[in-house]
Amino acid sequence: MSVQDLKRELVTLSASEQAEVAAFLFQLRHSADPDYQTAVERRLNDKDPAHWLTPDEFERRLDRA
């Protein structure tokens, strides 16, 4: 199957199915990147509440991205 074939098929998916594919591709892209994995582990292990975002701040930053 070619990339063009994949693109044609992706267009036919529902929004939730496209989101699932996007999440899969994001994970696939970063799964072999040791720097990304290290950054994620560092963030997950950060127990200092001063470094955490409120849900509202998270949404604001997400909207700017």
Q: Give pLDDT tens digits for 13-59.
A: 999 999 999 999 999 999 889 999 999 999 999 999 999 999 999 99
What's the number of domains the chain is made of? 1
> How far is Cα 39 from Cα 3, in angstroms, rounded to an integer?
31
Which residue segment(s) compose the domain that 32 sits in? 3-64
User: Of 39, 37, 17, 38, which is closest to residue 29 (Cα–Cα)?
Assistant: 37
- Is the distance from CB of 57 to CB of 65 less than 8 angstroms? no
pLDDT at 55: 94
